[in-house]
Structure 1
């Protein structure tokens, strides 16, 4: 519509900013709103159309960026009071690519402190609420990006995913959350370029929009050693494919080491699998033994984050999020032997997951074991599934997402209906490493 002059970038960005302003007191999806630079960029985008300049694929499209991702001239706090006034002088490469494609950054979305929990809340900004039911969590850590997209504040957003941080809030808010394969989208500012388990990701309402964002975001960067050897397929072509899924082998797994799954989640996933079968896919069950990955992820991620942020504890403990502080205190006694044992287990997990794809092309699981938890959910306490308390939130709610941060496989969370409380439910599809485009094709066919 922008390209055809049915609507102008100034109108589109202005409308997005107005929606953000109206929703902020209730949803609280943004830490920083960049109204002035966004409108200035919109006027430049409009002038480019008037003068007939070559336009990028996202020309004039408003985008929100999670506040873990650096943005030049726009405050980047990492959700922390320590950095409440921090303004970077350079963009992350992903942001720079989006801008070159014509996207306009309208603000920074909420994240828990340093992105280290699945509930989007922090002393800096409070809580971000679910886009559908206000007394439920948005999920996290990309809760702000998911809510911004789900509520129609922006059409697309940048998120991150360290253990499910894109897919969890996508599932909670009924949008598409894609975690690409390792190295596909560069993260040139990662401190451990060889052992990173976090990804910069798209958050969108449709699979096509995910593919369009990936067309812009993906590609090698010499500063990220994991990105330099990756090719770049045509994601938009894959998402537009109209062929049936004949011969696609889908293996379903209801649990990944967790003790319980909500009945309504299973019912929604069964309906989704039936839809895939109707498109020609062959559905079988994956029954190989599998241990809950929570302990391995906690050690690998915790040690990484302690090295990255632990020095702040001595000086700033009193103003830091108690949940983050408690996680760092728990990992502080980890020995080098324990860390390497967890890394060895990560390698075994990688090999186990890759073996699944000898018998199938796609693995399907729930994204979460239940719909969005209450907004006051205790991060360290048990969660409730069908009226019964089960494991803690990490082991019991999202064991489905963590493994694929550790292994590097691409995974996507897709809306799969609603529960009786009116909350979104989701199914997750996982593909072999390097099969991102094939995963998007299957996801688009299902959608």
Structure 2
């Protein structure tokens, strides 16, 4: 519509900013709204159309960026009071690529402090509410990006995923959350370029929009050693392919180290699998061995974050999120031997998961064991699944997401209906490393069958 001048970038960006302003008191999806620079960029985008300049694939499209990702001239706080006035002078490479493609950054979305929990809340901004039901959590840590997309504040957003931080809030808010394979999208500012477990990701309402964002975001960067050898398939072509899935082998696994799954989640996933079968896919159960990575995750992720941010504890403990402080205190006694033992287990997990794909092309799981938890959920308390308390929110609610940050496999969360409370439910599809485009093809086919 922008290209054929049915609507102007100024109108589109102005409408997005107006929606953000109206929604902010209720949803609280943004930490910073960049109204002035966004409107200036929109006017430049309109002038480019008027003068007949070459337009990028995202020309004039508003985009929100999670506040863990640096943005030049726009405040980047990492969700922390420590950095409440921090304004970077350079963009992350992903943001720079989106801008070169014509996208216009309208603001920074909420994240828990340093992205270190699955509930989007922090002393800096408060709580971000679910886009569907106000007394439920948005999930996290990319809760602001998911809510911004789900509520129609922006059509696309940049998120991150360090253990499920894209897929968890996508599932909670009924949008598409894609975690690409390791190295596909560069993260040039990652402090550990070789052992990174966090990904910069797209957050969208449709698989096609995810593919379009990946076309722009993906590609090597010499500053990220994991990205330099990665090819770049045509994601849009994959998402647009409408061939039947007759050769696709899908293996279903209802649990990954957890015991409890809500009945409505299982029912929604069974319906989703039936839809895939109707498209020609062969559905079987996956019973291959799985070494529960709870301990390896706690050590690898905890030690990584402690090295990144632990030095702030001595001076700023009183203004930091109590949840983050407690997590850092827990890991502070970890030894070097324990860390390397966890890294060895990570390698074993990688090899174990890759062996699954000898029998199938895609593994399917729930994204979460239940729908969005209450807005005041205690991060260290039990969650409720079908009336029963389940300890450990990470192992009990989202055991399905974190393993694939450790292994590097691409994974996507897709909307799969609603529960009886009107909350979104989701199914997760996981593919072999290097099969990102094939995963998008299957996801798009499912989306067309279950719009």
Question: Is contact 2:289-2:352 (8 Å) kept?
Answer: no
Q: Distance in 2 between matches of 1:154 and 1:7?
A: 16
1:194/1:226 contact within 8 Å kept: yes
State the shift of 1:293 in Å.
2.1
Is the deviation greater in 336-345 or in 321-330?
336-345
Give the distance between the partners of 1:87 and 1:201, measured in 2 at CA: 22
Give the match for residue 249 of structure 1. Answer: 249
Q: Deviations over 1:261-288 (max 9, x none)?
A: 0000000000000000000000000012
CA shift, 1:146, in A, is 0.0
Structure 1 residue 294: deviation in Å? 2.0
* Mapped partners of 2:34, 2:66: distance in 1: 13
Cα distance per residue 1:299-344 (max 9 Å; x no partner): 0000001001000001000000000000000000001111111111
User: Which range is displaced more, 284-293 or 350-359?
Assistant: 284-293
The answer to whether the 8 A contact 1:293-1:399 is kept is no
TM-superposed deviation, 1:291: 3.6
Q: 1 CA distance for matches of 2:103 and 2:153?
A: 15
Please say if residues 170 and 203 of structure 2, whose CA atoms lie closer than 8 Å, have aligned partners that are also in contact. Answer: yes
> Does the 8 Å CA contact 2:183/2:227 hold for their aligned counterparts?
yes
- 1:298 is paired with a residue whose SS is helix
Aligned residues: 447
Alpha-carbon deviation of 1:226? Answer: 0.2
For residue 289 of structure 1, report the CA deviation from its aligned partner.
2.9
User: CA shift at 1:29, angstroms?
Assistant: 0.0
CA deviation vs aligned residue, 1:372-393 (integer Å, no higher than 9, x gap): 0001111011111000001211
Conserved 8 A contact 1:292-1:399? no
Using structure 1 for the length normalisation, give the TM-score: 1.00
d(CA) in 2 for partners of 1:129 and 1:296?
Answer: 31
Contact 2:291 2:349 in 1 (8 A): no
TM-score, length of structure 2 as denominator length:
0.99
Look up the SS of the partner of 1:258 in the other structure.
Answer: coil
- Gapped regions of structure 2 (runs ≥ 5): none
Aligned residue for 1:310, secondary structure, equals helix
User: Retained in 2: the 8 A contact 1:158–1:203?
Assistant: yes
1:193·1:226 contact (CA, 8 Å) conserved in 2?
Answer: yes
Return the offset for 1:61. Answer: 0.1
Residue 131 of structure 1 deviates from its aligned partner by 0.1
- Give a deviation string over 1:169-205, Cα, whole Å, max 9, x none: 0000000000000000000000000000000000000
CA contact (8 A) 2:180 2:411 kept: yes
3-state SS of 1:267 partner: helix
Q: Which residue number corresponds to residue 446 of structure 2?
A: 446
Alignment-derived partner of residue 70 in structure 2: 70
Q: Distance in 1 between matches of 2:130 and 2:149?
A: 12
How far off is 1:247 after superposition? 1.3
Corresponding residue for 2:381?
381
Greater mean deviation of Cα atoms: 121-130 or 389-398: 389-398
Distance 1:217 1:241 in 2: 21
Give me the whole-angstrom Cα distance separating, in 2, the residues matched to 1:214 and 1:289.
32
Distance (Å, rounded) in 2 between the aligned partners of 1:391 and 1:167 = 21
Quote the Cα distance in structure 2 between the aligned partners of 1:294 and 1:84: 33
8 A Cα contact 2:194 2:225, kept in partner: yes
Provide the C-alpha distance between the structure 1 equivalents of 2:295 and 2:30, rounded to a whole number of angstroms: 32
2:330 alignment partner, SS class: helix
Contact kept in structure 2, 1:180 and 1:201, CA below 8 Å? yes
Partners of 1:354 and 1:391 in 2: CA distance: 29
Give CA deviations for 1:44-92 in whole Å, capped at 9, x if unaligned.
0000000000000000000000000000000000000000000000000
2:97 paired residue number: 97
- State the distance in 2 between where 1:442 and 1:368 align: 20
Q: What is the rounded CA distance, in whole Å, between the counterparts of 1:212 and 1:247 in structure 2? A: 25
2: CA distance between counterparts of 1:391 and 1:425? 21
Other structure's SS at 2:271 match: helix
Task: Name the CA distance, whole Å, in 1 between partners of 2:251 and 2:349.
Answer: 18
- CA–CA distance in structure 1, aligned partners of residues 433 and 392 of structure 2: 30
CA contact (8 A) 1:412 1:429 kept: yes
Post-superposition offset of 1:118: 0.2
Distance in 1 (CA, whole Å) between partners of 2:193 and 2:229 is 14
